[in-house]
Structure 1
Amino acid sequence: MLIILDRDGVINEYDGSYICCADDWIPLPGSIDAIARLCNAGHRIAIATNQSGIARGYYGTDELDAMHDKLEALVEQQGGCIDIITFCPHHPDEGCDCRKPMTGLLEQIRDHYHLPSLHGAIMVGDSRKDLEAALAAGCQAVLVRTGNGPETEQHLNERPLPGVRVFDNLSSFADRILLPGGW
């Protein structure tokens, strides 16, 4: 199964501030292990992340690459592999088609795997933008209660999205996927 992950607030700590260098990129407890366990069970892992800090001048692509190199190295140390990382470097006002909730990043992932659609894929995020992008692209949407997740969950109670499943964190999501009988 293809599992698409948002980055900030799902894999790494996120308090709403921009993460501008690899030293400040800190994985959430259990997230790296969760990714490795999913990989080792045969799931394919992709990441789709909005990174407007590039357009805002807070960091450049070299710093972003260093963060992603750190993430990939940590996952590989646990025996896992991230197949592709897509990111949107644009400012929210630019009107691009890749910034979630638009589906451009997910379409890049679909094309990477040469898939006709993302039906059957799962997208895990911590924000409404992640969930809306997932649903618009045909993925199963999963919310985690890390990062922006608690606030997002509260707003989902007011403005629901169809079929969204909720887990405490990436590790509890992986636990569920890896149960006998799976999803």
Structure 2
Amino acid sequence: MTSLTAPAAVLFDRDDTLIVNVPYNGDPEAVVPMPTVRTALDRLRAAGVRLGVVTNQSGIARGIITKEQVDAVNRRVEELLGPFDAWQVCPHGPDDACRCRKPLPGLITDAARDLGLDPDRVAVIGDIGSDMEAAAAAGARGILVPTPVTLPAEVASAREVAATIDEAVTALLPRRDR
């Protein structure tokens, strides 16, 4: 499904969407972009779409990594992929009952607020069902880009699925901006 107008912003999951997932990564040197993601991000930037990242980082709550290590990894992401207009990181664990941990909508609503937007003007691209559930709960458009860790049930329940980040971006951009 393509739209007549691009969303005002696209929020990306970080691990296995923007960068190769290294569980509980606290090492900026271990950051490796997913294939073609820089080109896709640059297409959105050229179309005037603002970009953000929404990421669960439970390693902080678990004591495996520090907030400072996560921040260093996120800076490396920007060095490799260019600037993002908003970052929202959930430092909580699955049992912490926070409002921000995906699949709850807090990361998305907070990022939209930081960008001065209503969530219905935002799209979310991620690789697992909790990304799509958070998008739906926030009122944002979600596009699932499956990876080997994506469960078949998550693919089946997603409203929109794209084979690649490039395909997801093409679905979001009006024909003139593709």
TM interval, short-chain normalised = 0.7 to 0.9
User: C-alpha deviations, 1:142-179, integer Å up to 9, x for none?
Assistant: 00023633x2xx11366x25xx2111121222234346
2:160: which partner in 1?
A: 165
Q: Determine the C-alpha separation between the residues in 1 that align with 2:160 and 2:110.
A: 24
Structure 1: stretches of 5+ with no match in the other structure: none
> Greater shift after overlay, 99-108 or 173-182?
173-182
1:109: which partner in 2?
A: 111
Superposition RMSD in Å: 2.0
Specify the SS of the correspondent of 2:69.
helix
Tell me the TM-score normalized by structure 1: 0.85
Structure-2 change in CA distance of 1:177 and 1:114 (3 Å): closer
Letter in 2 for 1:125: G
Q: Does the CA contact (< 8 Å) of 1:52 and 1:91 recur in 2?
A: yes
Q: Is 1:135 matched up with 2:142? A: no
User: C-alpha deviations, 1:80-112, integer Å up to 9, x for none?
Assistant: x31011000011111100100111111211221
1:47-126 equivalence runs, <5 A: 47-76=53-82, 81-115=83-117, 117-126=118-127
Q: Is 1:45 matched up with 2:51? A: yes
Specify the SS of the correspondent of 2:55.
strand
> Greater shift after overlay, 62-71 or 18-27?
18-27
Q: Determine the C-alpha separation between the residues in 2 that align with 1:51 and 1:130.
A: 13
Identity of paired residues, percent?
A: 31
Aligned residues: 171
1:155: which partner in 2?
A: 153
Q: Determine the C-alpha separation between the residues in 2 that align with 1:47 and 1:18.
A: 17
Tell me the TM-score normalized by structure 2: 0.87
Letter in 2 for 1:52: S
1:75 to partner: Cα distance: 2.4
